[in-house]
Amino acid sequence: MIKLKINGRERSFDGDPEMPLLWYLRDEIDLTGTKFGCGAGLCGACTVHKNGEAVRSCQTSMKDAAGKSITTIEGLSPNGQHPLQKAWMEANVPQCGYCQTGQIMQAAALLKKNHKPSDKEIDDAMSGNICRCGTYQRIRSAIHAAGKEMA
């Protein structure tokens, strides 16, 4: 039996310990904000936090999540008012929107450590998150705005 905490709630899993966390989140407990992108950990659409660190849930097995605290986009802010979520809306970041939950979760991990990242620090932290629509300038702008609010 695998026990873990998701968005502050204790959970148990009695299945294949090699199953990716992504499928548990989406298929078993219906948290569909975390998206499947590439399945190889290269695009960032499936980014969640494991004990506060950004990880790719498609590459994190359930056994690797055992005993950990997982935060998904649904748990970032119950009412969608996290500074990043507000900044994303104000900067009109999303176009298609598919990658945006992963982008926000990656950015949240960055801002948790550094409220005033430079453009280079943002680019470095976000480099593993692909936006096919190319909204990188708006993403950077929203991260700066959210960082100012969080400081």
SS3 state of residue 35: coil
pLDDT (0 to 100) of residue 97: 86
Q: Give dist(CA 53, CA 55) in Å, integer.
A: 6
* Residues 60 and 108 reside in one and the same domain: no
Query: Which residue in the block uniquely carries the two structure tokens 């709630």?
Result: 9
Domain that holds residue 102: 83-150
Give the count of alpha carbons within 13 A of 146, CB side only.
28
Helix (H, G, I), strand (E, B) or coil at 136: helix
Q: Report how far residue 151's alpha carbon sits from residue 149's, in angstroms, rounded to the nearest whole number.
A: 6
Domain stops at, among 28, 44, 76: 76
In a shared domain, residues 99 and 146: yes
Here the CATH number for the domain that contains residue 135 is: 1.10.150.120
> Which of 62, 60, 70, 143 minimizes the C-alpha distance to 108?
143
User: Are 92 and 69 contained in the same domain?
Assistant: no
Same domain, yes or no: 89 and 69? no
Q: What percent of the chain has pLDDT over 90?
A: 95
Question: How do residues 58-106 score in pLDDT, each as one tens digit?
Answer: 999 999 999 999 999 999 998 989 999 999 999 999 888 899 999 999 9
Q: What's the domain count of the chain? A: 2
Nearest to 102 by CA among 150, 50, 55, 149: 55
64 and 102 share one domain: no
pTM above 0.75, yes or no: yes
Point out the domain boundary residue: 76, 91, 117: 76
Which CATH number is 50's domain given? 3.10.20.30
Q: Are residue 103 and residue 60 in the same domain, yes or no? A: no
Q: Are residues 102 and 39 in the same domain?
A: no
DSSP assignment of 37-81 equals S-SSSSS-TTEEEETTEEEETTS-BHHHHTT-EEE-HHHH-TTS-
Residues 9 and 71 in one domain: yes
Spatial distance between the Cα atoms of 96 and 118, rounded to a whole number of angstroms? 27
**pLDDT given at position 78:** 84
For residues 54 and 112, membership in a common domain is answered with no
Q: Which of 25, 52, 76 is the last residue of a domain?
A: 76
pLDDT score of 134: 93
Please tell me the predicted confidence (pLDDT) of residue 151. 87
Among candidates 107, 116, 112, 114, which has minimal Cα distance to 52? 112
